[in-house]
Chains A and B, each alone.
Chain A
Amino acid sequence: MSTEKRHATEHAERKHHSTAGEILNTDISKLFKRQRQKDSVNDSLDTSTFPVVHKKTDSAKPERSLGTRIATSCLVVLLCMLLGFGYVTQLRSASDNYESLSEDELVRLLDETNTQVDRLEEQRTLLSSQVTSITNSTDKQRELNEVAKKNATTSGILAGRLACQGQGVTITVSQTGMPIEAARLFTLVEELRNAGAEAIAFNGVRIVASSYIVDTDSGMQVDGVLVSSPYEFKAIGDSNALSNAIQISGGIGSQLRVRYNANVIVRTQSNVVIDELASTRNYQYAKIVE
């Protein structure tokens, strides 16, 4: 039975005409009424059966197209790939940072690191103090070396092992007839020493602490070397003091002039070169005190 027909008959039955809303209302109320009737039949316990609810059959599912299925399976593969990728990535990153460690482990790690730092600091202090002491000792060694070098220079000049030059005087004593005694010339050397002469040479012989001047049968000898007039002295020192020591009235210069009638010429010079060297001697008895 079509609804159109029923509606038509209903219309016929009704005497009064109504609006569309009223029609809808009556329809819905009828629909509910009919449903209630159906439900009461279904729920009636007389039949002693429960209403059967049919399971939706597979045919109810809409069949998907081939393209959709391929797309979804591709998506499945993609998602699984993402899972594997993420897993491996996380595996790698978790192994090399401290994020995965617990607080206790981190504290322990920190403590260990601090201890190590302390130990290294200690070691550093020790090593730097060693460096300082070594540097000091090398400095001291260098100082000692310098002092020794200076001493060597001083004593080299003193001992006549080094040639030297500087301001000083040259003294020429020429003998005129009367022979001059060696003792007089030695006095001259002594005067020069007293006046602060630092290096003295006499006729090509370096005068040192152990030098001697003696008269022998063959003539005057200085350290075993024969010398004769004119006697030439070279002395390095304060040239004024040296020349004064010789020229002073009543000094050795005037003594030589008066007693021996000798010519004594004293020339002060700004640069006297003494390149005569004393022969080194081997000390037989004197030993160095260690």
Chain B
Amino acid sequence: MTAVIGLIVGVVVGIFIKPDIPIWLQPYLPIMVVAALDALLGAARSYFERTFNDRVFVISFLSNVITAALLVLLGDQLGVGSQLTTAVIVVLGIRIFSNVSAIRRFIFRG
């Protein structure tokens, strides 16, 4: 519940503030958003599995985001930034799909 409220508040703030992203953050922000989404869906899944732990969520959220950003940064420095971005997106996408399917199984019992 708090997570949903936080999400809504964040979206509203983003709409009304209209921030300018600094140029160095531009390649990392989409990756970070996807990673955070993955963490959020993982948290939802664990909530349905009755194993949700807010401390674990916070840690996984931060580690997901930081790992994704660092991977892209590493890729940029090695000259394979776009490929590594794609790889990270693919992996996170797969995880998001598996999380969503687990949640679906809990909700619809099948």
Contact = CB atoms under 8 A, between A and B. Distances in A.
Interface in A249-280: none
For chain B, give the interface size range. Answer: 20 to 34
20 contacts: A69-B54, A73-B2, A75-B54, A76-B3, A76-B6, A79-B61, A80-B3, A80-B4, A80-B10, A81-B10, A82-B10, A83-B36, A84-B9, A85-B10, A86-B32, A87-B33, A88-B10, A89-B19, A90-B21, A90-B30
A14 B61 CA distance: 61
A138 interface: no
B9 A76 contact: no
Given A75-B58, A77-B5, A89-B14, A83 B26 contact: no
A161 B32 CA distance: 95
A220 to B, nearest CB: 103
Contacts of A86: 10, 14, 29, 32-33, 36
Given A72-B54, A86-B36, A77 B15 contact: no
A84 B40 CA distance: 11
Nearest to A93: B21
A84 B6 contact: yes
B11 A84 contact: yes
Interface in B75-99: none
B11 A87 contact: yes
Given A80-B7, A84-B10, A89-B19, 8 more contacts: A75-B58, A79-B36, A80-B40, A83-B7, A85-B14, A87-B14, A93-B26, A94-B30
A2 B19 CA distance: 70
Given A73-B2, A76-B57, A83 B29 contact: no
A71 B29 CA distance: 26
